[in-house]
Amino acid sequence: MDERRSDLKKIIMDTKTLPTLPGVINKLNSLSNDDKSSVQEMARIVSADQVLSARILRLANSPSYGFYRVSTISNAMILLGVNVVKSLALSSSIFEIMEKNSVGLWEHSLGAATAAGIIARKLALPEVEEITTAGLLHDIGKVIIGLKCAEQMPEIRRQIKLDDLYISEAEKAVLDTDHAEVGGWLSKSWFLPEKLSEPIAYHHNVAGSEDHRIKTSVVHLADVLIKASGFGDSGDSYVPPIQQVAWDALKLNELLLQEMVVELEDKLVEVKNFSLELANAAAV
């Protein structure tokens, strides 16, 4: 393995915390002061933040608890308890608040989660919540790269712009790896279940997934659809094509796709409102 790549991998394996959006924290905090707040309501808010979700799943899957493979936020919250989740959220907020320019990526993640949920339901797939979670976390690698490779970021951005590259191509050129692979490493070192780590690692290369190709295909499609919708900011200005492997795995056709797009457009209005609500919570 190339030196840069193995250095980066080592850094990622040592990564224990990631920054969270302040709005999500404030919202959670105000909720949990109210005794009646239910697990479901808290799960809804946590599920809006890819980073906090990743941390909670990491904790639920950590060997000290002895649970094997917790893959949804609501299950993690049931097992960890509201108090643990709350203090985890608060402990992350004080020192590591996400920068303003990450809001675009956060919206992209939230949008991809929404799209993944719509696709999964449309195709009547099992484990919709797992698929939604995978959609939410699919770009977690970008958060880490932004954090751990801050020095190389200007060069990555320059290449995207000047050489007309997709993010992952520019990342490969500069870092010798990309956010999908990095996200895969992180999810492995955090003991996240394969039904999450595979879609994260292969959302740009569906053919690479073996055991969870359907879920990976959904996340890939969700990523493409949300980029096409213009919701949020993934960092890419072009919409990538839908990979044939994914098209085949999901047995898609034009009509189905059209229905999904219409449903997604409606739903994104709601998501936008929710994201504004959280942005306002941050301002309080």
Q: How many CA atoms lie within 13 A of 177 on its CB side?
A: 25
CA separation for the pair 58, 224 (Å, rounded): 27
C-alpha radius of gyration, the chain, whole number: 18
CA separation for the pair 278, 261 (Å, rounded): 25
Is 33 a residue that touches another protein (CB under 8 A)? no
- Give the interface segment with another protein, choosing from 89-97, 149-157, 261-269, 270-278 (CB under 8 A): 89-97
- Give the interface segment with another protein, choosing from 85-93, 156-164, 223-231, 249-257 (CB under 8 A): 85-93
Is 70 a residue that touches another protein (CB under 8 A)? yes
Is 35 a residue that touches another protein (CB under 8 A)? yes
Is 84 a residue that touches another protein (CB under 8 A)? yes
Q: How many CA atoms lie within 13 A of 57 on its CB side?
A: 33
Name the residue nearer to another protein (CB basis): 53 or 177. Answer: 53
Burial-class residue 134 by CB neighbours within 10 Å (0-12, 13-18, 19+): buried
The site that binds another protein (CB under 8 A) totals a number of residues, namely 35
What track of x and - describes contact with another protein for positions 91 through 130 (by CB under 8 A)?
A: xx-xx------------------------------xx---
Least distance (Å) from another protein to the CB of residue 149?
Answer: 23
Other C-beta atoms lying within 10 Å of the C-beta of residue 236: 17
Taking each helix axis from N to C terminus, what angle separates 128-137 and 50-60, rounded to the nearest 10 degrees? 120
Is 69 a residue that touches another protein (CB under 8 A)? yes
**3-state SS, residue 97:** strand
> Under the rule (CB under 8 A), what is the footprint of another protein?
16-17, 35, 39, 55, 58-59, 62, 64-72, 74-75, 78-84, 87-88, 90-92, 94-95, 126-127
